[in-house]
Amino acid sequence: MKIFDCHYHIPSGNEIYAINDSGRNIIFNSVESYLNHEGGFKQQDSCTVLFDFRNDPGRNRKLITENKINAWKIHSRLQKISSADYPVLIEKLEDLKPEIPLVIDAFYYGDDLAFQPDLGGIVSIAKRFPHVPVVVAHAGGYQVLRYFYHLKSIENIYFDLSFSLSYLKLTSAFMDFRNLIKTGDENRILFGTDFPFVNAADQLNTLEEIFLDLKTPEHAMSKIFYSNAITVFKPNAGDSL
């Protein structure tokens, strides 16, 4: 079965990926890291870059007009985005007239509580841009049940399983991920790893075990592993890919 990893970071060390995939959505958590990347991209890959809404909007616009990237990334903890910042963030997105997907980090972690993911902010973005796919990275982390029940009726919301399946499999939240996979829309769930921040093979094996236990139909597995991400990220769209 084909696999497209919807959430992949280029490693800085000797981490072993160990997945035979058919493409990856490579995520850069800064514009600088994207511009400094020397290795290029494979034809079957897509590229997501952090949306730097506070600095240099001309550079953001240039990346779009030159057809360089496939999606924007928004990361509240990394970018220090509080709930009060979402109106400005949405205004900057409106200025850019987004036509490519938005990947929004939704993993709760650490003691910097002011900048944790904001479910209300994600709802506001998804409803303001209903034609834009909004990919909820990590599917809400340990708050997956809350995210699933509040977001499942919004048709442009997609759930990215990366990192969480492996990291949270010994917690009570793991049952909620099983619930998402069993009862969620099979067209709006994406497989990802978050490599190298998690063991990619363990993330894959964990999802395969869930599929086996839930008796997930093959057509649904194929969508989650591959075709949903292809539909969202559209590899080969950028000149650099």
Q: What pTM, to 2 d.p., does this model score?
A: 0.95
Number of independent structural domains in the chain:
1
Q: Would residue 119 count as lying in a domain?
A: yes
Can you list the residues of the chain whose pLDDT is less than 50? 237-241
What is the predicted pLDDT for the residue at 39?
57
- 104-109-111 Cα angle (round to 5): 125
Between CA 95 and CA 59 the distance in angstroms is 13
Phi first, then psi, for residue 24 (nearest 5°) are -145, 145
Report if residue 239 sits inside a domain.
Answer: no
170-200 pLDDT, tens digit each: 999 999 999 999 999 999 999 999 999 999 9
Please check whether residue 34 lies inside any domain of the structure: yes
- The pair of structure tokens assigned to 23 is 């493409």
> Is residue 42 situated within a structural domain?
yes
- The domain in which residue 78 lies consists of 5-233
- For residue 58, the model assigns a pLDDT of 82
Task: List the CATH number of the domain containing 198.
Answer: 3.20.20.140
- Give the per-residue pLDDT at 237: 47
Residue 168: inside a domain, yes or no? yes
Residue 122 lies in a domain: yes
Tell me whether residue 85 is in a domain.
yes
Q: Is residue 238 situated within a structural domain?
A: no
